């Protein structure tokens, strides 16, 4: 199984979700069955490392933080099982890139996997223009979403 998390520039939210999901999969013993990566809807930060604030928050919480940003490519849909958008803007951008209904069916919002999330508030907010507390909130939301996503993964891989 292959999962790709997608945000705008691939330096904040999606790499944080990627690292959280990697850890959840390792804890569940599923890391050999599920590949996880991330990308951005745009190319602004392609080749850059993750935002230093994201790296600090991830490391402080015990997660890995190695990352190089890249842009999502439509041909990746073929090899992915799930494409996880971090907010509704990313979801709309991905749906525009999807070439078939089957590709569009792979797109989900991360917080849609969080049973405690309000259905009218499924965006993970962009922390880029704020301080480190915004990154801490993103981590909390990614953890809650990835917990639910792990249940979905388990149901798919047995």
Please choose, from the candidates 67, 82, 60, 87, the residue with its C-alpha nearest in 3D space to the C-alpha of residue 19.
67
Check if 142 is active-site. Answer: no
Task: For residue 84, give both structure tokens.
Answer: 């996880």
100 and 22 Cβ atoms separated by less than 8 Å: no
Distance separating alpha carbons of residues 40 and 18, to the nearest angstrom: 12
Active-site entry in 70, 126, 147, 154: 126
Is residue 13 among the annotated active site residues?
yes
Contact status, residue 106 vs residue 82, Cβ threshold 8 Å = yes
* Active-site residue (options: 13, 24, 108, 111): 13
Q: Give, in order, the Cα–Cα distances in Å from 2 to each of 33, 61, 153.
A: 9, 25, 10
**Separation between Cα atoms, residue 40 and residue 50, nearest integer Å:** 12
User: Which is the catalytic residue, given 4, 7, 12, 142?
Assistant: 7
Judged by DSSP in three states, 105 sits in coil
126 is catalytic: yes
Structure tokens at 59: 């490391």
Catalytic residue annotation? 7, 13, 126
């Amino acid at each position: 199984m292959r999962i790709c998390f997608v945000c705008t520039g691939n330096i904040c939210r999606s790499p944080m979700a990627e690292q959280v999901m990697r850890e959840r999969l390792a804890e569940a013993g599923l890391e050999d069955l599920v590949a996880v990566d991330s990308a951005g809807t745009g190319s602004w930060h392609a080749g850059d490392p993750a935002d230093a604030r994201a790296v600090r928050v991830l490391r402080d919480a015990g997660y890995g933080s190695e990352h190089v940003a890249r842009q999502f490519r439509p041909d990746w849909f073929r090899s992915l099982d799930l494409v996880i958008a971090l907010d509704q803007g990313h979801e709309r951008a991905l749906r525009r890139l999807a070439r078939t209904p089957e590709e569009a069916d792979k797109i989900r919002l991360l917080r849609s996997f969080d049973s405690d999330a309000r259905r009218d508030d499924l965006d993970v907010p962009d922390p880029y223009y704020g301080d480190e507390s915004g990154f801490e909130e993103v981590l909390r939301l990614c953890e809650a979403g990835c917990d639910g996503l792990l249940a979905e993964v388990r149901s798919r891989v047995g």
